[in-house]
Amino acid sequence: MDQNVIQQARILAGRLIRQAGAVALERFDDIAEVTDKDDYGDVVTEVDLLTEAIILPGIQSTFADHAIHSEEAGSLGGESDWLWLIDPLDGTNNFAIGLPAFATSITLLYKREPVLGVVYEPLTDRLFVSSAGEGAFVNGKPMQVKPAARLSKANIGWIQGHAVRNDPRAVRLRHHLDVSFKRMMRLWAPTLQWCLLAKGDIDGIVLYNSEGDDLYSGILMVKEAGGIVVDFEGRPFTGMQAEPYLIACHPDNRDELLRTVRAGLGEAE
């Protein structure tokens, strides 16, 4: 793995993501068109396409031999050990209704492992950056996942895939989390929840079958901030999975959060 590539990619991604964020900020609460994207309630706006049109050419012109997958454009480029994942507007549903919780996410993976994650929240001008082995930062300040002294008083983020909808198992788990913690939070903008955990502002995340272009920047952000990401069996999460079921938190809270999730699923220890 070429560290020079990662360094160059970090500079490029930071520049492109700020340009994309400026467009989203300018159009916030003043969008012209919202289109249904699928049968699950997901939507797309002209801002998704405008921000994507900034990011993709910038990557392609600098890293022509890299593969790219972007939420709206799909797969671009040929086979490569290097893969860029782009979510041009994470939280599109929020954006469409004027709810100020959205971001742009850029991830670079090498052989299916995230090595660079960049997330920009334009409304707060917060730039989150993580590189493999080099930590996680918000506007240049190091981030650290914090342990919760009592999980019963914790704020836990919930993330589920669009296709999950009212899956009875997910509904049962979601309700159990809602009554087991101080607050079970759904932002509809997953990358922001991952960044809040990395920053130490929330105490954990439970993710139910939600894989996409917004996932791996957040996972790297949390790991590089000292957190752990494991599946519902407690196994460390690596690589990429089509249907991930994950918990993320400070290592000190791993066992209790895992027990709570299993109890919510009706599974014995």
- Output the DSSP codes for the chain: --HHHHHHHHHHHHHHHHHHHHHHHHHTT--S-EEE-STTS-EEEHHHHHHHHHHHHHHHHH-TTSEEEETTTEEES---SEEEEEEEEETHHHHHTT-S--EEEEEEEETTEEEEEEEEETTTTEEEEEETTTEEEETTEE------S-GGG-EEEEEE-TTTTT-HHHHHHHHHHHHHSSEEE--S-HHHHHHHHHHTSS-EEEEES--STTHHHHHHHHHHTT-EEEETTSPBP-S--SS-EEEEE-GGGHHHHHHHHHHHTT---
Q: Mark the binding-site residues for Mg(2+), compressed into ranges.
A: 71, 87, 89-90, 214
Q: Residues annotated as binding site? A: 71, 87, 89-90, 214
